[in-house]
């Protein structure tokens, strides 16, 4: 197969992979972020402590993470058909990719949020901040470098999942590698798809690491953000006013 024959196939496959991974990442982040934060808030000693709710959510997340992706795709075929009207193609692959990515990202969010200094939470509580204020102004901003790294890890995992989706008609680079590289013995095309995936993953990892380090230097793990430094500075000032009174 010549390059002129490969080029349109590669362009279409790259576009399909980009669509699958892009949409599934948005859904996974949108669903996994609140789920991960809720796991922290409802845990023992959390702001919304509820052990029953925490155990139920945790078990659902564990089940979602324990299923191999290829089995998850098969198990969700009826649901995928109900959502998209088909079980093949890149649009259909988005459904299992997103559902598989939500529990994966939720656990990463939980780990990132647990690393936030509890003293900052107590400082905002002392100033009368409610749970929503603490989540919005403390937990998410302070965990942001780790959340960026978690998103990077999720995107890379979803790229791998999308390649597996290609083996059962999901489209994308995985489908191209199987149909042409394996079934038609086009070894050159298969290695090109491998090289493309390797380059894309390397670029995503580099971009994610750079963004996480930039946020870290601006006030992530190296110290509280300006807003939180201000909150901590106001706390002793309020105590001094009380002494004068």
**Over its length of 245 residues, how does the chain's per-residue pLDDT go in tens digits?**
777 778 888 899 899 999 999 999 999 999 999 999 999 999 988 888 899 999 999 999 999 888 888 888 888 889 989 998 888 888 888 999 999 999 999 999 999 999 988 888 888 888 888 888 899 889 999 999 999 999 999 999 999 898 888 777 777 888 888 887 777 777 888 888 889 989 999 999 999 999 988 887 776 444 444 344 434 444 444 444 344 34
Q: Quick count: other Cβ atoms within 10 Å of Cβ 171?
A: 23
What pLDDT was estimated at residue 163? 83
pLDDT, residue 9, reads: 87
pLDDT number for residue 203: 95
Query: Does the pTM exceed 0.75?
Result: yes
pLDDT at res. 231? 44
Q: How many angstroms separate the Cα of 222 from the Cα of each of 43, 142, 143, 217?
A: 27, 10, 12, 7
Smallest CA-to-CA distance from 70 within 162, 138, 144 is with 162
What is the predicted pLDDT for the residue at 94?
92
Per-residue model confidence (pLDDT) at position 124: 87
- Give the position of tokens 């002129």: 4
Please state, as a whole number, how many other Cβ atoms lie within 10 Å of the Cβ of residue 70.
14
Indicate if the alpha-carbon torsion angle 8, 11, 16, 17 is positive or negative.
positive
How many CB atoms lie under 10 A from the CB of residue 97?
29
């Amino acid at each position: 197969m010549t390059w002129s024959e490969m080029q349109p196939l590669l362009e279409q496959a790259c576009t399909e992979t980009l669509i699958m991974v892009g949409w599934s990442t948005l859904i996974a982040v949108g669903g996994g972020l609140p789920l991960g934060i809720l796991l922290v808030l409802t845990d023992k000693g959390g702001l919304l402590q509820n052990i029953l709710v925490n155990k139920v959510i945790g078990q659902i997340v564990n089940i979602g993470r324990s299923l191999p992706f290829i089995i998850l795709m098969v198990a969700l075929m009826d649901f995928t058909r109900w959502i998209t009207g088909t079980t093949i193609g890149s649009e259909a692959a988005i459904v299992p990719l997103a559902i598989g990515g939500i529990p994966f990202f939720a656990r990463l969010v939980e780990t990132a949020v647990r690393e936030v200094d509890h003293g900052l939470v107590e400082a905002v509580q002392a100033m009368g901040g409610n749970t929503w204020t603490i989540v919005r102004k403390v937990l998410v901003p302070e965990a942001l470098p780790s959340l960026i790294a978690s998103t990077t890890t999720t995107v890379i995992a979803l790229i791998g999942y999308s390649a597996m989706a290609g083996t059962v008609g999901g489209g994308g680079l995985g489908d191209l590698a199987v149909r042409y590289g394996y079934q038609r013995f086009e070894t050159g095309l298969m290695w090109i798809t491998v090289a493309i995936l390797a380059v894309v993953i390397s670029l995503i990892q580099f971009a994610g690491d750079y963004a996480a380090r930039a946020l870290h230097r601006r006030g992530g793990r190296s110290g509280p953000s300006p807003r939180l430094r201000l909150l901590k500075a106001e706390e002793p000032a309020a105590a001094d006013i009380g002494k004068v009174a």
